[in-house]
Amino acid sequence: MSSNNAEQREIDAEQAYVDAVYERLDASAKVAQSLVVEGMARGHVGNEGGLVERDAMVYQASLRLSALNAAHDGLVFGRLNMLDGDSRYIGRIGVRDADREILLIDWRAPAAAIFYQATAQEPAGVIRRRVLRCANDKVIGIEDDLLDADNAPDDLVVIGEGALLASLTRARDSSMHSVVATIQKEQDEAIRAPSRGATTIGGGPGTGKTVVALHRAAYLLYTDRRRFESGGVLVVGPSTVFMNYIERVLPSLGETSVTLRSLGEVVDGLRAMRHDEPIAAAAKGSSRMPAFLNRAAAAPMPGSPTEFRYFYKDDVLRLDADQLARIRRNLLSGGKRNRAYLKAPAALVDALWAQVAGDRALEKGEEEFVETVTTDDRFVDFVEDWWPPVEPIDVWRTLPDVIDELARGAFDAEELAALKASWQIGEPSIEDVPLIDELRYVIGEVPSTGGDEDDVPKQLMSFERREREDRNDRFRSTQSIEDDGFAHVLVDEAQDLSPMQWRMLGRRGRYASWTIVGDEAQSSWPHPKESAAARKAALEGKPEHAFRLSTNYRNSAEIYDLAAQVAAVAVPHPDLADAVRRTGELPVHLTVGATELVDTARRSAREILDRVEGTVAIVAATDRQAELAEQLADLLEQHPERLRLLDGLATKGLEFDGVVVIEPDAITAESSAGWRTLYVVLTRATQLLTTVGTTDGWLSRI
Ligand SMILES: Nc1ncnc2c1ncn2[C@@H]1O[C@H](COP(=O)(O)OP(=O)(O)OP(=O)(O)O)[C@@H](O)[C@H]1O
């Protein structure tokens, strides 16, 4: 019997089992579907109890339905043949038969753990570990690991060369996939670590930090669904390109309830896509920012009135600039600016009443005075102009005008110029988002006029302001600050977070457990010490548990050997990984004249596109992007799905079968983190790497 025949027979046998599992999955989906329909019908009962019950039922059934649908592809992926003769099938979610007997064990269940932890040295009762490769619901291949040859029955068939290698050599497409079938032991330990404090996952490029962290999120949801689903799991990554790249992993593990945000989208209502140039970016991220923002948040809005006059009976009452400033200080000393919204009229009326001297007015008493003033349009208009409820974005817009006065020397001339220039653009950048968030917290929210403000006189409680029509609705925060907290915060590429970004995430994870993923050697943040302090503050004494992943599953050993030399220039003690896959393809460097640069890069990209099946990136410094996009438009248009042009920072966390780097020396020169960025860029390639430059200074330094 040929080995092909043996494999086909095994596939057919496995298919029969897989079919039975799908039948049960379909039956469960039908039940969930009919629960949704039934729940909807209950709403028609007409009483409130019926509605609550319906909502709960529809919600639960819909969740189950979306989990069942999401886990459909490749539902069954593993089988363990045990020493006692039993078989256990492992899948993306758990499935039972009509008698509640287990057909498929959820990969996160304790009974599935040995699928990942058993080794030939310690088989833990497992004889053969089998990975089923499926396309949709069809088994198309099998990869076996024989873990306990001594105890294997004679007729046990063993197919393939091991699942991991088979999966690593597969072509990359534009999104990350789950690795649930081939999780390695050290990765499994990080995935299943208890959810306490902060779990850090470190290790060099391509060691699976991202994919492991995502599987960990799915694991936590499985182990304590109530806590993490109701409290929320927030996954934060560097860019929208990166979020698009990873977005399919969790749904494919049956988890659809996780909030995925890039750093420019962490704050509700904001969606920033653009990075600032390095000087402005570093200044905005710096821990020198909060003090300035505090002052900016307290300052009057430009154009607010500096005087108020009011005629009452025989008196001319006047609040001049000094008096208004004093009232302002008092209001701010009592708390956040918007929180004082209801208190401002009372403070003003008090100050006015103190000036009343005329007999007619005094006779009528304070109550009538308050009534008269607070219902007078002139007063209402004044308060509206002097103490409007402010949106953080409105204060953010004032920053270029107030920074000279309010930063009090915290930034040097070069930084001030860069900050002002960036703010002139008018749209918030990714680096502005934490600033707006900071302002949001400093300014606070306008209290509801529910009537629980203690010391506000009755008349003032009903003091009504007119809605200002000119407000910029686009960036208005949609949720209240209280809604920001999550039960778990997962941060990827954490080595790049600025102090301000740590503060922004810290506010969302005060009561959360954390998973923090990073590799210092890949950092593009210029001031690591400042960031470390902000990280510590964000985690507020939570205990940390560190895991380190050691094997590079992405790069060929040939590519990683070169990249590791760049890492050694980039940082003193890089955390290097072991790349285990040799391809025989050495990286290529071409030195050419300036006029040939683009054509050579185009030719190299074309060659690589012909040689690999999957995706290819052309990477160049940020300031060449626009020009190259035009020059390479023909090629990019020919391969919209496979080819991308990116700058160094935008490649963070991504991977491609082939990479062409244009002018590596321009990338190292781009910022103080340039060498680390080049290290990131070189470690994106799984198979082929070509660098093209008019100089090769970087090669002579390594
Ligand atoms: N156990 C595994 N089985 C199969 N593939 C794996 C496994 N672990 C990691 N990989 C693959 O290795 C590649 C790198 O993984 P990932 O992007 O998570 O690494 P990383 O450590 O976050 O990298 P970087 O720090 O460079 O961003 C991905 O294609 C991932 O699917």
* DSSP codes of every residue in 159-209: -SS-HHHHHHTSPP-SS----TTT--HHHHHHHTS---SEEEEEESTTSSH
Q: List the residue whose alpha carbon is closest to atom 25 of ligand 1.
A: 205
Residue 2 has pLDDT above 80, yes or no: no
The alpha carbon of 555 and the centre of ligand 1 are apart by a number of angstroms equal to 10
The alpha carbon of 81 and the centre of ligand 1 are apart by a number of angstroms equal to 27
Enter the ipTM: 0.99
CA atoms within 13 A on the CB side of 353: 19
Which ligand 1 atom is nearest residue 549's CA?
Answer: 21
Identify the pLDDT of residue 44: 57
Tell me which H or E stretch contains 62. helix 48-70
To test the pocket of ligand 1, the residue of 117, 211, 250 to mutate (highest count of ligand atoms within 8 Å of its CB) is 211
The SS3 of residue 638 is helix
Cα 551 vs. chain centroid, distance in angstroms? 24
Pocket of ligand 1 (CB under 6 A): 164, 167-168, 179, 182-184, 187, 203, 205-211, 519, 522, 553-554, 653, 655, 683
Which ligand 1 atom is nearest residue 213's CA?
Answer: 18
Q: List the residue whose alpha carbon is closest to atom 3 of ligand 1.
A: 182
The alpha carbon of 605 and the centre of ligand 1 are apart by a number of angstroms equal to 24
Identify the pLDDT of residue 469: 42
In the structure, what pLDDT confidence band is assigned to residue 455 with cuts at 50, 70 and 90?
A: low
pLDDT tens-digit series, residues 536-550: 999 998 999 999 999
To test the pocket of ligand 1, the residue of 207, 250, 520, 651 to mutate (highest count of ligand atoms within 8 Å of its CB) is 207
Which ligand 1 atom is nearest residue 214's CA?
Answer: 18
The DSSP symbol for 410 reads: S
Rounded to the nearest integer, the mean pLDDT of the chain is 89
In the structure, what pLDDT confidence band is assigned to residue 448 with cuts at 50, 70 and 90?
A: low
Which ligand 1 atom is nearest residue 212's CA?
Answer: 18
Identify the pLDDT of residue 420: 97
In the structure, what pLDDT confidence band is assigned to residue 5 with cuts at 50, 70 and 90?
A: confident
pLDDT tens-digit series, residues 201-214: 999 999 999 999 99
In the structure, what pLDDT confidence band is assigned to residue 158 with cuts at 50, 70 and 90?
A: confident
The alpha carbon of 577 and the centre of ligand 1 are apart by a number of angstroms equal to 12
Identify the pLDDT of residue 61: 75
Residues 6+ apart with CB under 8 A from 275: 281, 429, 430, 431, 649
In the structure, what pLDDT confidence band is assigned to residue 456 with cuts at 50, 70 and 90?
A: low
The alpha carbon of 177 and the centre of ligand 1 are apart by a number of angstroms equal to 10
Q: List the residue whose alpha carbon is closest to atom 26 of ligand 1.
A: 205
Residues 6+ apart with CB under 8 A from 507: 437, 441, 484
The alpha carbon of 541 and the centre of ligand 1 are apart by a number of angstroms equal to 30
Q: List the residue whose alpha carbon is closest to atom 1 of ligand 1.
A: 183
Identify the pLDDT of residue 449: 57
Mean pLDDT of 97-122: 91
Which ligand 1 atom is nearest residue 577's CA?
Answer: 21
Which ligand 1 atom is nearest residue 207's CA?
Answer: 21
Task: Note the residue count of the chain.
Answer: 702
Identify the pLDDT of residue 38: 74
Which ligand 1 atom is nearest residue 492's CA?
Answer: 22
Q: List the residue whose alpha carbon is closest to atom 8 of ligand 1.
A: 208
Please answer whether residues 125 and 132 qualify as being in contact, where contact means their C-beta atoms are separated by less than 8 angstroms.
Answer: no
Closest C-alpha among 314, 301, 491 to residue 401: 301
User: Measured between alpha carbons, how far is 169 from 181 in angstroms, rounded to an integer?
Assistant: 15
Give the pTM: 0.85
Q: List the residue whose alpha carbon is closest to atom 18 of ligand 1.
A: 208
Q: List the residue whose alpha carbon is closest to atom 23 of ligand 1.
A: 206
Mean pLDDT of 169-195: 87
Residue 587 has pLDDT above 50, yes or no: yes
To test the pocket of ligand 1, the residue of 492, 554, 576 to mutate (highest count of ligand atoms within 8 Å of its CB) is 554
The alpha carbon of 112 and the centre of ligand 1 are apart by a number of angstroms equal to 21
Mean pLDDT of 221-231: 90
Identify the pLDDT of residue 173: 77
To test the pocket of ligand 1, the residue of 117, 119, 178, 210 to mutate (highest count of ligand atoms within 8 Å of its CB) is 210
Which ligand 1 atom is nearest residue 167's CA?
Answer: 4
Please answer whether residues 472 and 453 qualify as being in contact, where contact means their C-beta atoms are separated by less than 8 angstroms.
Answer: no
The alpha carbon of 224 and the centre of ligand 1 are apart by a number of angstroms equal to 26
Identify the pLDDT of residue 524: 83
Which ligand 1 atom is nearest residue 684's CA?
Answer: 26
Q: Which residues are annotated as a binding site for ATP?
A: 203-210
- The residues facing 692 across adjacent strands are 590, 662
The alpha carbon of 24 and the centre of ligand 1 are apart by a number of angstroms equal to 33
Identify the pLDDT of residue 54: 67
The alpha carbon of 566 and the centre of ligand 1 are apart by a number of angstroms equal to 20
The alpha carbon of 124 and the centre of ligand 1 are apart by a number of angstroms equal to 26
Lowest mean pLDDT among 62-76, 314-328, 461-475: 461-475
Q: How far is CA 443 from CA 430, 480, 561, in A?
A: 21, 12, 51
Query: Per the structure block, which two tokens stand in for 49?
Result: 């109890």
Type of residue numbered 684: R
The alpha carbon of 614 and the centre of ligand 1 are apart by a number of angstroms equal to 16
Identify the pLDDT of residue 651: 94
Which ligand 1 atom is nearest residue 183's CA?
Answer: 1
Neighbours of 658 (CB within 10 A): 28
To test the pocket of ligand 1, the residue of 248, 252, 496, 553 to mutate (highest count of ligand atoms within 8 Å of its CB) is 553
User: Measured between alpha carbons, how far is 282 from 656 in angstroms, rounded to an integer?
Assistant: 29
Q: List the residue whose alpha carbon is closest to atom 24 of ligand 1.
A: 205
The DSSP symbol for 314 reads: T
Identify the pLDDT of residue 468: 41
Domains and CATH numbers, the chain: 3-168 (no CATH), 185-268+479-549 (3.40.50.300), 278-475 (no CATH), 552-701 (3.40.50.300)
Angle between helices 433-443 and 499-508 (to 10 degrees): 50
Q: Which residues are annotated as a binding site?
A: 203-210
The alpha carbon of 211 and the centre of ligand 1 are apart by a number of angstroms equal to 6
More confident residue, 97 or 235: 235
User: Measured between alpha carbons, how far is 537 from 258 in angstroms, rounded to an integer?
Assistant: 25
